[in-house]
Amino acid sequence: MAIPFVEVADSLSPTVPPAAPRRSPGADRAADAIDRTFRRLARAWSTGDAAAVGQLLAADCDHLTLSGSRRSMRGREELLATWQQAFSRRSAAFSIRMTPALHAVRRLSADLVLVDGTLQYSDGFGAEGIARSQCSQPFTAVMQRTGDEWLVLSLRAAAAMNCDD
């Protein structure tokens, strides 16, 4: 299924009603590259590979958790330290896997896009070996093209839904 990819010009004209989204010649390549970035991120999270996560983050990235804690982190180094700490708490039985589902990509400029999606978590054993049910976490990200890759510049993650407490 193709990820909806909207060009800014399609939605910002004050005099013309929004038309069906059109895809520029590079939109399919960009959407595929963005999807690959999120799949690599999910694979790195699933295996607890903080270094691989770091390769997908812009140096000045930020992350905000929109749940009750509203935790905010800024910069690749702070995010890596947080994920390394979280991954170190995982037991050998950890088996939860993350899968991204991208719902829409909106091009803001040639090298900047807004992505809406959901991170889906499988059931399995979580941190400290506690059994967890599958759940999902809506997110919005701003991604920046650097060379041939799209890196996460900013990530906003809502509270996970339908999870065990």
The predicted-structure confidence for 63-118, as pLDDT tens digits, reads as follows 887 776 667 778 889 888 988 998 999 888 889 999 999 999 999 999 999 999 99
Alpha-carbon distance of 105 to 133, in angstroms, equals 29
Is residue 164 scored above 60 in pLDDT?
no
Number of folded domains that form the chain: 1
- Dmax (CA) for the chain in angstroms is 59
pLDDT at 43: 96
Answer whether residue 164 is part of any domain. no
Over range 21-28, report the average pLDDT: 63
Q: Residue 149: inside a domain, yes or no?
A: yes
pLDDT tens, position by position, 34-65: 999 999 999 999 999 999 999 999 999 988 87
Q: Which residue range is the domain that position 42 belongs to?
A: 5-9+26-157
Closest CA to 153 of 11, 87, 57: 57
Task: Tell me if 99 is assigned to some domain.
Answer: yes
Q: Which among 45, 30, 163 is positioned nearest to 102, based on CA atoms? A: 30
CATH assignment of the domain containing 44: 3.10.450.50
Full-prediction pTM beyond 0.75? yes
Whether residue 15 lies inside any domain: the answer is no
Is the residue at 20 inside a domain?
Answer: no
Q: Is residue 129 part of a domain?
A: yes
Query: Which stretches does DSSP call E strand in the chain?
Result: 5-7, 57-65, 72-74, 98-109, 112-121, 124-125, 131-132, 135-146, 149-157
Asked whether the predicted pLDDT for residue 10 surpasses 60, the reply is no
Per-residue pLDDT tens for 115-131?
Answer: 999 999 999 998 878 88
Cα 9 to chain centroid, rounded: 24
Neighbours of 107 (CB within 10 A): 21
